Amino acid sequence: MKLYELAAADGRRFSPYCWRIRMALALKGMSATPAPVEFQQIPALFGGTGKSVPTLELDDGEVIVDSFAIALWLDEMNPVRPLFTSSTARSHCRVIEGWANTAVAAEVRNMIIMDIWKAQSPENQAYFRASREKRFGRRLEDIQQGREDRAATFNTVTMAPLAHALGHARWLGGNEPDYADCLVFGSLVWGPIISDFPILNDGPVKDWFARCCGLLKDEPEVAALRF
Ligand SMILES: N[C@@H](CCC(=O)N[C@@H](CS)C(=O)NCC(=O)O)C(=O)O
């Protein structure tokens, strides 16, 4: 099977949603051939029906769009080392997904949005700027401005629920990592992959982040991280 992942001009894969699935595959001991695509290649995928990445293309041609749907499918087709140990875990992961999308990934994005733009090819820079400035109603420069102050609040406020959970267990999944860890890790890791701006302070959250990176040490973007 093939995993379509968002890539920058130099090939670095940087999408938070795609890293959730790379980590999920690593937890399950599964692999998928990387199919890196840049922003403007996405709509042309699958005969012009491409919507978003990650998209998983199975060997029989079936296509699964959306990271959570892919995670559910991985467990369904291969129940070994489950990403969701129960239906309760599945429901709770939807809460964590909501928090990871609207707080973690969104705040990281606002701290690195110019670095994301800089990493794209000229055509993709134009697309990224136009689409994001329309979506957020502000210039990219204005979105990123003031990130030093926001990074401090990010560590003390946004990361507080994660720090709280890590005070009780080594992983969000408890003794072992599960899809909850993938959700939050993906939402953080795109920062240091695409930007030199330091986000995480030293402490239990960064230690957990380093443990997650250890699970993905065969992925060049993660192996290259220095923190
Ligand atoms: N809910 C989706 C969100 C996926 C998503 O938004 N992916 C972005 C890349 S990070 C995308 O494909 N964007 C296309 C674009 O902006 O043109 C998921 O979890 O997979």
* Mean of all residue pLDDT scores within the chain: 98
Nearest in space to 15 (alpha carbons), one of 32, 36, 1, 29: 36
List pLDDT tens digits, range 196-225.
999 999 999 999 999 999 999 999 999 999
Q: Tokens 């969104």 map to which residue? A: 106
pLDDT of amino acid 226: 86
Three-point CA angle 119, 116, 72, nearest 5°: 115
User: Are the beta carbons of 3 and 33 closer than 8 angstroms?
Assistant: yes
Q: Is the distance from CB of 3 to CB of 32 less than 8 angstroms?
A: yes
Q: How many CA atoms lie within 13 A of 37 on its CB side?
A: 22
Going from the Cα of 114 to the center of ligand 1, the distance in angstroms, rounded, reads 18
- Cα 45 from Cα 55, distance rounded (Å): 10
For a ligand 1 pocket test, name from 17, 120, 133, 184 the mutation site with the most ligand atoms within 8 angstroms of its C-beta.
Answer: 17
Mode of pairing for the β-strands spanning 33-37 and 2-6: parallel
- Tell me the per-residue pLDDT of 104-154, one tens digit each, with 9 for 90 and over: 999 999 999 999 999 999 999 999 999 999 999 999 999 999 999 999 999
| Residue having the nearest C-alpha atom to atom 20 of ligand 1 | 66
Q: Ligand 1 mean position to 54 CA, how many Å?
A: 7
Q: How far is the CA of 53 from the centre of ligand 1 (A)?
A: 5
CA nearest neighbour of 183 among 110, 113, 119, 102: 102
Nearest CA to ligand 1 atom 5: 52
Q: What is the pLDDT of residues 8-60, one digit of tens each?
A: 999 999 999 999 999 999 999 999 999 999 999 999 999 999 999 999 999 99
Distance from chain centroid for Cα 112: 14
Report helix, strand and coil shares of the chain as percent, to nearest 5: 60, 10, 30
